[in-house]
């Protein structure tokens, strides 16, 4: 695994040494960032179900100011810390070992709002509908935010979930689909 572009382009990052996470492949990560815009001018990101932290780290490398990483598995949390330290970007991140829904609630209590939210949960184990509804309920999605959902190509997400509308959905290598949501206009 590596960082595809930006400040840390080409740097290796470690995967989680476990079968409890499924890292986003470099090819899928590259495709995803070409879809959402290759670079950012600041902003705040939330990497739920972060695994090794690959999506959030890529976003930091491409210009996000800060990313909060969340995963419930200790091996994932240790790997995220290791990757952040290796790239010397610990000051741009917060890392939490907790359930995604608890993290959403805690972010709401802190008054945080995110411009980019990356959702790459274990396939078939988490409801995207429930997750997006929780994001809205706890008011952590900024007005112009993009929510990035990575799921299997066999799973079709609804055109609308609560106040969010799907703006794009593309399948890569017949395995992974990336669906993007934003607030309805």
**What are 153-182's pLDDT values in tens digits?**
899 999 999 999 999 999 887 888 999 999
pLDDT at 65: 97
Distance, in Å, from the CA atom of 39 to the CA atom of 33, rounded to the nearest integer, reads 8
The strand pairing partners of 47, in sequence order, are 69, 118
Domain boundaries, the chain: 26-183
Closest listed residue to residue 24, CA positions, set 154, 122, 157: 122
CA distances from 1 to 15, 26, 97 (A): 7, 6, 22
pLDDT at 27: 76
Q: Is the pTM of this model over 0.85?
A: yes
Q: Quote the radius of gyration of the chain (alpha carbons, Å).
A: 15
pLDDT at 26: 74
CATH superfamily name and code, 26-183 = Vaccinia Virus protein VP39 (3.40.50.150)
pLDDT at 22: 64
pLDDT at 56: 96
pLDDT lower than 50: segments of the chain: none
């Amino acid at each position: 695994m590596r960082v595809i572009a930006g400040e840390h382009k080409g740097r290796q990052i470690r995967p989680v040494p476990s079968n409890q996470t499924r890292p986003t492949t470099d090819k899928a990560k590259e495709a995803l960032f070409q879809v959402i815009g290759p670079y950012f001018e600041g902003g705040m990101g939330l990497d739920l179900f972060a695994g090794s932290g690959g999506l959030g780290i890529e976003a930091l490398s491409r210009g996000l100011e800060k990313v909060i990483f969340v995963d419930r598995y200790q091996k994932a949390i240790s790997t995220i810390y290791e990757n952040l330290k290796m790239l010397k970007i610990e000051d741009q991140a917060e890392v939490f070992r907790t359930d995604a829904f608890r993290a959403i609630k805690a972010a709401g209590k802190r008054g945080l709002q995110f411009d980019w939210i990356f959702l790459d949960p274990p396939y078939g184990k988490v409801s995207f509908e429930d997750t997006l509804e929780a994001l809205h309920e706890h008011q952590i999605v900024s007005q112009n935010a993009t929510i990035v959902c990575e799921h299997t190509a066999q799973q079709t997400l609804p055109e609308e979930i609560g106040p969010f509308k799907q703006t794009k959905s593309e399948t890569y290598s017949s395995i992974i689909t990336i669906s993007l949501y934003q607030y309805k206009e």
